[in-house]
Chain A
Amino acid sequence: MNDDAYEGARLDKNDVVLKTTDLEKAFGGLVATDGVSIEVDRGTITGMIGPNGAGKSTLFNLISGFYENDAGHVTVNGEEVTDLEPHERARKGLVRTFQTPRRLEGMSVREAMLVGPGPQKGESIFSLFFSGSDVTEEERANIEQTRELLERFEIGHLIDQPSTDLSGGQMKLVELARAFTTDPDILLLDEPVAGVNPTLANDIKRFIRELNEEGQTFLIIEHDMPFIMDLADPIIVLDQGKVLMEGSPDEVRSDDRVIEAYLGGAGP
């Protein structure tokens, strides 16, 4: 815990929101993440690409705490979070979405959104009975925020729909909006436009950009090359569990190693 990497992270003076140092993870004999060190600067949209099996999802799970790492560190705002549970990391401002969001059974879109905001008073049974008016007040504010966010994301008309009735693309939008209600320092989006029709994908791109202009930091995994090349800068390329390179979209596009990795030159 108290080795050099940790001290190093602390000296970053908060320009770096998220930093991983020599992260390692193996599943049996398969090394899925092999000493990955990345940094995500505040205010950026950082992209993460790589061929199938490059270790992107594993890295996301390590960063968000859903997998335990074998070695290395993760820091958020210079604070060590390596030993924290996923929900504790979320409260430190590290919030992720999932590739295929499950629909919340028996919940309207409004309700599905209301799960987002940070520790709520109404989540304590004690408060429900002994400070009900505080709960009501907070709930009203959250409902209002939900309505505004959904309208901003141009899905305000869906607020009363059962969340099980949404299309995949609409669910992705709800997920993005909900993740944003947690007031995150960095949002990790796992394939935000996978399976989404092009029109909606463009909307999602626009919303991400808008949120970013307001200061929201993103780390995004995406397979859709035009989408991520247009949106993200810098881009981190993973291959076989290692960082192959990092650079601007133009640098990535013209890098021989990236082309080779994608065309399978190094693969089996």
Chain B
Amino acid sequence: MSAVSSWVSETLVRDATERRIFAVLGLITVLLVVGVLTGVIGPRFLLFQIALVGMYALLSLGLNVQWGYAGLINFSVAAFWGIGAYCAALLTAPNSPLGLGLHPVFGFLAAIVVSAFIAVLIGIPTLRLREDYLAIASLGLAEVIRAIILNERRWTAGSSGISGIPNLMSWLPLTDAATTAAIVVFLIAVVYLFLRRVHRSPWGRVLRTIRSDEDLAKALGKNTYLFKMQAFVIGSVIMAIAGAFYAHLNLYIDPSDLVPLTTFYIWIAVILGGTGSNRGAVVGAAVVIAIREGTRFLNDIGFIQTLGIDLAPLRLLFVGGLIILIMRFRQDGLLPPKDELIWPAARDESSTGGASPSGAVPDGGTSSNGGDDR
């Protein structure tokens, strides 16, 4: 029990503001449960939304490795997600152009292998250059992947999409909706634990150094290209896993799902949650999806109906408004990363860890307000 409480106090909730954020999230969860119990919300619908949020959380975790850890600007989130989704759909759906009808495991494996391969392919020419080159190349990649899927009808069924994708683990004694929700929770747990370990390691430390000052990392003998490549591949593979999961959640996939909007929702989720923070990425994804899906029902509220305006299409406006509020009141995001990330097993010996009360800098030199002065 004490292990759980110390995990909550040290990892999950760190100050009063975070406690309030989690309180709000808890309240929303309670309301949703009450909604299900009173029959206002269908449990099937809620489970589907949980699976959707989970999928977006995976995507955010993936982008967080690239942008949050290493500072890599990847605008092809949708493309890697689409690669994963199409790998799963093409290999497992009996009526896909390949017509293989394989076990879903092969879909996930193919998603991992193909996304890693494409990430390396894009990384080789761009990761040696300044960061903006990856941004440009990834923007192009997103369109190229979408155009290929749309036009190579023989292989991908083009715009008609692929249907008949099987459910995952339908032998479990649960409804299909409950099974997918359970699977996504499991996937997030595995990915989260993996990322938590690498983020707090010397490996993660080199990435964070690269993010602030790549030349410094080079001058200290770090092969920054290799580190960036690893971060890029890991992030892309996580995105592809999310895509493969989505194929089995939605049971249908077509190229219109690969629009750039998905990429930007994920960027918003990561920035909103707190760039560089894994828990932030998960919470950010939940907030963005809650707004996106929740605004569908605004028009059902009696008060808004009497106003006679259609509020649902304004969802992007709500997301934008939220971003402005965050930037104004909590610049580092809802749940920013810790000030110090030390390999946990090596911590106990190294004093108390955690930053001491900052501020008193006993030196008359230049004052520093976190400025980037080069």
Contacts and interface: CB of A to CB of B under 8 A. Distances in A.
Interface residues of B, number: 58
Interface in B201-249: 201-203, 205-206, 208-209, 211-213, 215-224, 227, 230
Interface stretch (A3-11, A16-24, A100-108, A250-258): A100-108
Contact of A136 (B223, B341, B346, B372): B346
Nearest to B71: A105
A195 B371 CA distance: 15
Nearest to B359: A165
A87 B343 contact: no
Contact of A110 (B198, B342, B366, B370): B342
Interface string A86-113: 1110110001111111111111101110
Contact of B219 (A64, A105, A140, A157): A64
Contact of B343 (A105, A122, A157, A160): A122
Given A160-B356, A164-B370, A200 B218 contact: no
A161 B366 CA distance: 16
Interface in B172-219: 197-198, 201-203, 205-206, 208-209, 211-213, 215-219
Contacts of B366: 167-169, 195
A135 B200 CA distance: 12
Interface string A195-238: 11101100000000000000000000000000000000000000
Contact of B208 (A107, A110, A119, A125): A107
Interface in A62-100: 64, 66, 85-88, 90-91, 95-100
B373 A160 contact: no
B337 A106 contact: yes
Interface string B326-350: 0000000000111111110110011
Contact of A106 (B276, B354, B371): B276
Contacts of B202: 114, 120-123, 135, 139
Given A100-B373, A164-B370, A123 B358 contact: no
Given A104-B208, A108-B355, A135-B201, A166 B368 contact: yes
B302 interface: no
Nearest to A161: B358
A160 B370 contact: no
A159 B342 CA distance: 13
A74 to B, nearest CB: 15
A123 B364 contact: no
B363 interface: yes
A115 interface: yes
Contacts of B313: none
Nearest to B203: A123
Given A86-B219, A90-B219, A123-B203, A168 B365 contact: yes
Nearest to A107: B208
B208 A106 contact: yes
A184 B51 CA distance: 52
A178 interface: yes
Given A122-B202, A125-B198, A139 B340 contact: no
Nearest to A198: B364
Contacts of B338: 106
Given A102-B374, A139-B343, A182-B220, A169 B359 contact: no
Interface string A168-183: 1111000000110010
A160 B361 CA distance: 12
A166 B361 contact: yes
A182 B216 CA distance: 12
B5 interface: no
Contacts of B371: 103
A170 B370 contact: no
Contact of B197 (A128, A140, A197): A128
B38 interface: no
B367 interface: yes
B201 A128 contact: yes
Contacts of A110: 340, 342, 350
B368 A160 contact: no
A195 B218 CA distance: 24
Interface of A: 64, 66, 85-88, 90-91, 95-108, 110-112, 114-116, 118-125, 128-129, 132-133, 135-136, 139-140, 143-144, 147, 157, 159-162, 164-171, 178-179, 182, 195-197, 199-200
Given A105-B211, A197-B363, 9 more contacts: A98-B215, A98-B374, A103-B372, A104-B209, A107-B212, A128-B198, A139-B342, A143-B342, A196-B365
12 contacts: A87-B217, A87-B218, A103-B372, A106-B276, A106-B337, A107-B340, A108-B355, A110-B350, A115-B217, A160-B355, A165-B358, A197-B363
Report the 8 A-B pairs with minimum CB-CB distance, sorted nearest first: A122-B202, A90-B221, A167-B365, A169-B365, A139-B346, A168-B366, A108-B340, A136-B345
